[in-house]
């Protein structure tokens, strides 16, 4: 999972949402629920067991192969846990998973994995914000040509361009922050909490329904997730997370696209950070390809399709557990999450070593005058303003509008970015 020949850079996501990580997360969910059953007196004290050491990464292949029979990996995992618990703790083997269903375990495990992804992405975005803030401030006076519909438009500054990138990253950070409190999924067989309520009733609870809801809430707290009503077929949490991930790749893609354009040899205003062996060609020794930007753009083009699949699955949910739509979410969400982490990491590296050719920018702007000042001259003529000396009339720095104030606004917004809890 840490490597993928056909998606270069996957190693940057490490073990986030990998098969071993998700297997561990599912065991965490089972252990947390069992602990709360014991703590609430629903399960007997001798059923206490942290489930440690029962399953590890070496079991992934067995669980994955056996998952086909039941349609999800929780069923064979539970079989392993009960078999291995039987010798160590027969009471725990009897009580593990009581009151849960497969969807509870898998959805909550994916939420745990996604929480790790969100934390990593927020760190990557904070790094991008710091780098972009420095670029915007340092280059507020670096005049360059603004381009619209691929053509020269009016003068701008590279600081203003970096400030525009910064707003995009801040927008993504806000979308991601809204997903920081991912929900636990505990509903039982059909989202009614019937089994856990019945177990509480059998133990003499005066309020079985309240006890079942409390069990779910305490499990959420133990796992560091948000307590929530069952959402077996109300898939907004997954779709919302997908949208936030795409907001991240959108912001990264915008930066990459500008770098790809401005790094063209005939423009030469920006360059990627140099690294040994990076950007080479198998056939052309002279080439230094902007591979970081290429790979980030790849992720930005692919990501919306993943989010669309998650929305399709949400729209197709039915009954009390979706028949195929739910199953579609798992790999889609993991792929989208890991690729977003990769793109964010590559973008942070790109910005950290971005080469800005200030003189080339200024020379291009000077060379494009007086054409890029046509609007300015037209406005002055319409207002009856007096003419200017030729050298002044062709100075692109004379027509920068509110760029300084706009840069300051972006920097102020960046300073207000919420720090992680």
Query: Where in the sequence numbering do the catalytic residues fall?
Result: 281, 321
Integer Cα distance of 270 and 255 in angstroms: 12
Phi-psi region of 396 (alpha: psi -120 to 50; beta: other; left: phi over 0): alpha
Residue among 306, 293, 354 at smallest CA distance from 9: 293
Query: Do the Cβ atoms of 294 and 278 come closer than 8 Å?
Result: no
Query: Do the Cβ atoms of 380 and 393 come closer than 8 Å?
Result: no
Residue 91's CB: how many other CB atoms inside 10 A? 16
Integer Cα distance of 354 and 272 in angstroms: 5
Per DSSP, the three-state class of 298 is: helix
Please report which residue ranges of 40-157 form alpha helices under DSSP H.
60-70, 74-88, 90-95, 102-138
Six token digits for residue 33: 């629920």
Residue 283's CB: how many other CB atoms inside 10 A? 6
């Amino acid at each position: 999972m840490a490597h993928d020949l056909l998606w270069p850079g996957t190693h940057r996501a490490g073990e986030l949402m990998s098969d071993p990580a998700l297997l561990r997360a599912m065991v965490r969910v089972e252990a947390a629920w069992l602990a709360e059953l014991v703590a609430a007196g629903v399960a007997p004290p001798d059923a206490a067991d942290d489930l440690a050491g029962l399953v590890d990464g070496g079991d992934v292949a067995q669980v994955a192969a056996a998952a086909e029979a039941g349609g999800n990996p929780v069923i064979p995992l539970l079989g392993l846990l009960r078999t291995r618990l039987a010798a160590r703790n027969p009471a725990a083997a009897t009580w593990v998973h009581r009151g849960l269903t497969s969807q509870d375990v898998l959805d909550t495990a994916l939420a745990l994995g996604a929480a790790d992804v969100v934390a990593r992405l927020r760190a990557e975005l904070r790094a991008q914000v710091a780098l972009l803030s420095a670029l915007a401030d340092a280059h507020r006076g670096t005049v360059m040509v603004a381009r619209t519909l691929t053509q020269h438009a009016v003068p701008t500054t590279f600081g203003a361009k970096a400030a525009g990138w910064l707003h995009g990253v801040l927008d993504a950070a806000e979308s991601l922050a809204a997903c920081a409190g991912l929900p636990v999924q505990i509903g039982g067989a059909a989202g009614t909490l019937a089994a856990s309520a019945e177990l509480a009733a059998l133990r003499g609870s005066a309020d079985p329904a309240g006890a079942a809801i409390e069990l779910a809430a305490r499990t959420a707290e133990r796992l560091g997730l948000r307590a929530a009503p069952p959402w077996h077929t109300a898939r907004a949490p997954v779709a919302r997370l997908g949208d936030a991930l795409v907001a991240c790749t959108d912001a990264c893609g915008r930066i990459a696209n500008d770098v790809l354009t401005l790094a063209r040899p005939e423009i030469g205003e920006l360059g990627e950070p140099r690294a040994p062996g990076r950007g080479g060609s198998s056939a052309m020794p002279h080439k230094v390809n902007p591979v970081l930007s290429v790979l980030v753009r790849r992720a930005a083009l692919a990501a919306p399709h993943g989010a669309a699949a998650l929305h399709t699955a949400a729209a197709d949910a039915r009954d009390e557990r979706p028949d195929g739509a739910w199953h579609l979410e798992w790999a889609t969400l993991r792929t989208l999450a890991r690729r977003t982490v990769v793109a964010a990491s590559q973008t942070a590296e790109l910005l950290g070593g971005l080469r800005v050719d200030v003189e080339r920018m200024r020379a291009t702007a000077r060379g494009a005058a007086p054409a890029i000042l046509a609007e300015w001259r037209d406005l002055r003529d319409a207002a009856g303003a007096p003419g200017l000396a030729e050298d002044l009339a062709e100075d692109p720095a004379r027509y920068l509008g509110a760029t300084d104030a706009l840069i300051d606004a972006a920097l102020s917004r960046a300073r207000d970015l919420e720090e992680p809890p």
